[in-house]
Copies of this chain bind each other. A is one copy, B any other.
């Protein structure tokens, strides 16, 4: 561990990723997780910290600790990978955290997708705390496109309504780029992330317009009123329709909990949501016309048409942070690091 050599604030540490991984793994094992779970969890939170996604970085170790304290997570459950059926791979996480279940299902998903042209990885009954982009990147690394969906907890009202039905319901997509970072986006279908709503609530600052309604269904920028009322989807009725699609695809379609059912299971504990996940993968070599190089050229022409006019690709900020982390170590606020280490005490 070393201090920032240049002009960064003295309360930021710059740590080698390996050291962070070892620390995070030790902390998770200390919480009672099996070694395999702890390693998968550590890879996930360190990837978030490395890419400067603070809310999905080491900070998540603290919310995992709270969730474990709530007593519902199976700490050592081995994910149960069912035999592949057609293009469908199913992993029952057995009420454990999700990253290990994903890792255990990934090879079968890649195999099924290459064999059938497209494939689905269904993860059942997992506590899901991570961003979706680490999973998307794990699939694009195999030269496949990917689409991932999960519900969360019912906090978001449908367009035209005022009572929560949908979760923040993220949608993530990735396209593989040989020799470059993949094209990846990962966003909540809610107008604001739940974590950002919490930050506004704690800070007492108003929300941006259009993020929520109060208990009477009136538009509100008061984070407390919105927390008691409902958040809204991004993009009006279109975002609301997409949020419904996530409930249906990553809930009813796979026989896993919707955001309302997940919230009912939580029963006020305030833990990380437990539900299912649907991850689709697509093989450009099987879905295309047989000229993969031409297909890759098409994609690159699209990206060039975006960046040549000064617009950004979705994950550029993350990749820039990743490059900085590789150069100087992963930036971690000292207070956060101490809070994480304190979990060992």
Contacts and interface: CB of A to CB of B under 8 A. Distances in A.
A interface, by DSSP: helix, strand, loop or mixed? mixed
Given A235-B235, A258-B302, A161 B252 contact: no
A307 to B, nearest CB: 9
Interface in A239-271: 239, 241-242, 244-245, 247-249, 251-256, 258, 260-261
A280 B253 CA distance: 14
A83 interface: no
Q: How large is the interface on A (under 10, 10 to 19, 20 to 34, 35 or more residues)?
A: 35 or more
Interface stretch (A8-16, A284-292, A323-331): A284-292
Interface string A104-127: 000000000001111110101000
Contact of A299 (B115, B162, B235, B248): B248
A3 interface: no
Contacts of A187: 237-238, 241
A102 interface: no
B306 A86 contact: no
Contacts of A241: 173, 185, 187, 314
B260 A305 contact: yes
A241 B315 CA distance: 10
A238 B295 CA distance: 24
Contact of A175 (B189, B252, B310): B252
Given A117-B86, A162-B309, A249-B145, A235 B234 contact: yes
A312 interface: yes
Nearest to A306: B158
A257 to B, nearest CB: 8
Given A87-B119, A173-B248, 6 more contacts: A159-B311, A160-B310, A161-B311, A163-B305, A175-B248, A234-B238
Interface of A: 85-88, 115-120, 122, 124, 145, 147, 157-163, 165, 171, 173, 175, 183, 185, 187, 189, 234-239, 241-242, 244-245, 247-249, 251-256, 258, 260-261, 278, 280, 282, 284, 286-291, 294-296, 298-299, 301-302, 305-306, 309-312, 314
24 contacts: A87-B116, A88-B116, A88-B286, A88-B287, A116-B116, A157-B309, A158-B309, A163-B305, A173-B248, A175-B248, A185-B238, A189-B238, A234-B235, A235-B236, A237-B314, A247-B302, A248-B302, A252-B295, A253-B282, A253-B295, A255-B284, A260-B302, A261-B298, A280-B280
